[in-house]
Amino acid sequence: MQHCLNHSIMVLAFKDNHQLAVTVPAGKTIQVIGPVDDDNRFLVVDVDDEQFHIFASDLEDRAEQVLAHQTAGLHSEEGTNYHGLDLRLTT
């Protein structure tokens, strides 16, 4: 699931057994991989082919989910289906 950042966000990088806080700028699109195995407060995200951990609450507060037809550049009538994806907009 892809999200576009409305605000910059702090992520945690893990490299050579060290943790490093990195800021991802607003406007960047990130891919949510899933929850961290041992701590459900965090999510694993992919940013420019690198994986980081973020607080799930930060993602809710600072990003918007990108809909499937937006990422694929598709133009669809409401309720149509493209390759098994439901493209209806919900409110």
- What is d(CA 84, CA 21) in angstroms, rounded to the nearest whole number? 38
pTM of the model: 0.69
Q: What topology does CATH give the domain 2-86? A: SH3 type barrels. (2.30.30)
Q: What is the DSSP string of 46-61?
A: EETTEEEEEEHHHHHH
Per-residue pLDDT in tens (0 to 9) along the chain, 91 residues: 999 999 999 999 988 888 899 999 999 999 999 999 888 899 999 999 999 999 999 999 999 999 865 555 544 444 444 344 444 444 4
